[in-house]
Structure 1
Amino acid sequence: MSDSAPLIHPTAVIDPAARLADDVRVGAFSLIGAGVEIGAGSVVGPHCSIHGPTRIGRDNRFVGHAAIGGEPQDKKYAGERTELVIGDGNVIREFVTINRGTGGGGGITTIGNDNWLLAYTHVAHDCHVGNHCVFSNNTTLAGHVSVGDWVIISGFAGAHQFCRIGDHAFLGMGALVTGDIPPFTMVGIDGHGRPRGINAEGLKRRGFDAERISAIKRAYRTLYVAGVPLAEAKQQLAEQAQHSDDVRQLLDFIEHGDRPLQR
C-alpha cells in the first residue's frame, strides 16, 4: 500500500474487539478477529486472516494470504482458550500459516523477533521460534517444535513433533528432522536430516572467530565422528566445555532434551 492509501482498506473486516495501534495498515479483504492485538508500524497485506487470542508486536509485515492465529490442527483441542504471541520486526510472506497452542501443550505458540517466514511456511500449535531465523519456502514445523536463534531452514524441510533445533543450526533443502539438532549443526540434504558438520559459514558471518569455530568443530567430531557412546561423548564434551562457552551451550542442549539426538 502506498503512503497515500487509507490505513484500513474499506473491504477489510476488523472486529470491534480487536486492538490495533493507530498506524497499523490493513489491506483489502483481510479479516482481523476478536482478541487480536497488533503493535505500531505493522502492515497486514491483502487477503490475510488473523484470529485471536493473538498478540503481535511492532513493525511486523504480513505480505498477503497469511492465516495467522487459527485453531490448532490437533484432534485433542476442545475449544479451550489458547494464544499466539508474535514479537517485533518479523516478515511473514504469502500463505504462511501459524496456529495457536493447545491446552495440553502449554497453551501458547510463540514467534520471536526479526524472523523471516517465507511462502507456505507452516508453524503448528505449541511451537516456539526464537529470533533472527529464516524459514525458506514450504518449511513445516509439526506441533511442539522448539527452534533457537539464528536458525536457517531451507526449502521443503521439516521437523517432527517435539523436536528441538538449537541456535545457529542450518537445515538443508528437503531435510526431514525426527530428532534433536544441537546448536551450530548443519543437517544434510539427503532427506534423512543427518548431521553433516557445523554451520561454519553462518558462524563466520555472525562474528565467531577462528578459535570459537575450532572448539565447536572439535565438539562436533566428539559427538558425531569419534564413534564413542553418547555417555562417553558427553564426558569429553564436559572437559571441552571448561574452555568454551559454545561447547557448554551445546552440552546443555544435549542434557536437557527428551528426544534422542539426530545421529
Structure 2
Amino acid sequence: MRAHAAVRVERDAHGALRVAELRSDVPVVLRLTGTSPVGASPPTATVHLVSAAAGPLAGDELRLDLTVGGGVRLVVRSVAAMVALPGRGGTGPSRLLVRAQVGNEGELDFQPEPTVVARGADHVAITEVSLASSARLCLREEILLGRFGELPGAFHSTLRVDVNGPLLRQELALGPDAPGLRGPAQLGGARAVGSRLVAGPAWAGQAAEAVSVTDEHGEAALLPLAGPGYLVSALAADAVTLRRLLTTAPRSPAPLPPPAS
C-alpha cells in the first residue's frame, strides 16, 4: 500500500488562520479537530491522525507532509498507537516518511501516540524537519517493543532536523537481531524507548546543562544541542512511565515549551 497525506496551514491576507491543504490518503487519514478563536496568537490548528486500516504492513510506503507558515501553529496528534505488523512474503520493510517545514515565528507541535513494533515486523521511520531561524518545534517519538508478552520486531528510525544548517542527526536501530540490545549498555530490560526534541530559541532558550535521572521504572537524560534546542531521551518498562519521563523529567534551567494541547 502507498499513501501520501499532507497538511498546510498559513495566514490569509487578513492575518487569520487558513488551512490551505488537508489531504488524506488511506490509511493515513487526517481530521481537523480544532482551531483557535479569531484573534488568538498564534492562530492554531489541531489535526489528528486516524488510522483507516491495520498496519503498516511489510511493504507499505506511507508519507506525511506538514507545512507550517510564518506566525501560525500546527498541533498534530493521533487517536491511537500505530502497530507495525509483519506481512506475507519478501515484500521488504514498512516505511513511514514525515517531512515538515516551519516558517519564521511558526510552531509545530508533533506528538503522536507510540509506535508498537509487533513480532515479525520490520518498520522504518524517517523524519525530516526544516525550521526557519525563529521557528519552534516540539517533536516526540515513542516506540514500544512488542505487544504485551510478545517479542519485538525490527525498528529503524532516522531523524534529521535543520535550523539554518544541521541541528540534529540521529539514528536508532532496535530489534531481536541487534547486537547487545538487551545488555546494560543499551536497553537492559526496557520495553519502551522514546525521545522529545524541543527546538527554536523561543522554546528551548539557552542551551541547558546535561541532566539525567534514574528510578526503578526507567531513566531519562537531557542533552543540550549545539543550536537552539535540547533532546530528552528515555528508557522505561512501559508506555505510561516513558510518557511521564519524556514530559516531566529531567528538569533543567531551560524553559519548557507551552503545555500540550
The TM-score, its normalising length taken from structure 2, stands at: 0.26
Higher-RCO chain (CA-CA 8 Å, sequence separation at least 6): 2
* Structure exhibiting the larger radius of gyration computed from Cα positions: 1
Q: Normalized per residue, which structure has more helix?
A: 1
The TM-score, its normalising length taken from structure 1, stands at: 0.26
